[in-house]
Amino acid sequence: MTEERFTPQMYLDYYTAQRDISVGDIGVAPVAVISWGGKVIEALAEAVGAEPAPHWFYERYPCYTGEVQGQPVSFAEAPVGAPGTVLLMEEMIACGARLFLGLGWAGSLQPSAPVGTMFLPSRCIREEGTSYHYLGSDETVWPDEGLVDSLWSAAQTEGAEVVAGPQWTTDAPFREFKSKIAAYQEQGVLGVDMETSAMYALGQFREVRVCNLLVVSDELWDEWRPAFGSEALKDATDLAQRVVLRCLENGFELM
């Protein structure tokens, strides 16, 4: 049997002892929303009156905690990429987080899913390295089905169109070959990002609930068509934020 030399709990024990604080003083809630955009996290936190977590681990990646319908919720910015995102989630899990909603962006492989489309990744092609430290290479990763339903319902309420399907996650965005894009497009893969498969693998391994909502930020099926900084992408991201807030307002069962 394998046994870790260094665990999230060990780091948490060290961190709290160094500062003479308790785990509760860090300010991480059981429900967490993470995003790779600082402005998104700030907007979500402001919408519910969340305040900075008092003893959060990172200055570069802020975390805010507040309440939605009486349920404590944390909003944290994560580093781009699977390794940093999973590291941050591991630390939050050690602090008591049991449910994660991710709000991010993806490149689209499908002409039927242009910029602004929202994806609910239902399973993943694992081309990042982090997930293989948690699950075997033959295992499929998937989101929490209850969170998929919750996000889908919230999207319908907010008038947002969401597409569910397989997602490609890679560590190497500059090695997304035309041939591979064409092959995955033919297989019905919706889009590509850098975190989802690792997050889902961590959720399965740690037995916490995880689901991502991704907004198409660029199109890859023919020429590369980016929309970063555009009004269309801003409007779609704002709508995705409202979907997440609606989902939080509807409440969750924690594992």
Measured between alpha carbons, how far is 255 from 249 in angstroms, rounded to an integer?
18
Which pTM does this prediction carry?
Answer: 0.96
pLDDT at 255: 54
Give the residue carrying structure tokens 């959720």.
203
Q: What is the signed CA dihedral for 162, 159, 66, 88, rounded to 10 degrees? A: 10
Q: In the prediction, which pLDDT does 32 show?
A: 98
pLDDT for the residue numbered 252: 74
Q: What's the pLDDT at 2?
A: 78
Residues of the chain with pLDDT under 50: none
Helix (H), strand (E) at residue 93: helix 82-94
Q: What's residue 199's pLDDT?
A: 98
Task: Identify any residues that bridge with 119 across adjacent strands, giving them in sequence order.
Answer: 163, 214
CA distance 43 to 20: 32
